[in-house]
Amino acid sequence: MKKIILGLSLIGLIGCAQDNIMELEGRVAVKGSSPHTYLSIEDNKSHKSYKIQNQAKFDLMNKQNQTVKVKATLIKEAVGPGFPAVIEVVEVK
């Protein structure tokens, strides 16, 4: 019994340790209405929109309407319409 619990705990830890790192390529745009605007990227492959949490770190505001490749970590899943998934950019290519 102890071996089963130990095995399941180990599998759980391994599953939680994996990062949700993804590579996205798409157009950067400002969405929302004032004062609730945010910078987002729409992936060319999946056509999903992602809210960028740390746009100032990579100066992405100046790359509006440009297609960029980013490596990002998923912070929060999408909740529904108007609440896109939130990512934190790790690298801009």
**Residue 14 covered by a domain:** no
Which range marks the domain in which residue 32 is found?
A: 20-92
Q: Is the dihedral of CA 68, 73, 76, 77 positive or negative?
A: positive
> Which residues on neighbouring strands pair with residue 51, listed in sequence order?
40, 86
28 falls within a domain:
yes
The per-residue pLDDT for range 18-36, each reduced to its tens digit, is: 568 999 999 999 999 989 9
Instruction: Let me know if residue 10 belongs to a domain.
Output: no
Q: Is the confidence at residue 16, as pLDDT, over 60?
A: no
Residue 33 lies in a domain: yes
Both tokens assigned to 10: 């180990």
In a domain, 68, yes or no: yes
Residues contacting 90, CB < 8 A, separation 6+: 21, 70, 71, 72, 73
How many separate domains does the chain show?
1
Determine the pLDDT at residue 80: 86
Cβ 27 vs Cβ 63: under 8 Å? no
Instruction: Find the CATH number of the domain harbouring 29.
Output: 2.40.50.500
pLDDT digit string, tens, across residues 34-64: 899 999 999 999 999 999 999 999 999 999 9
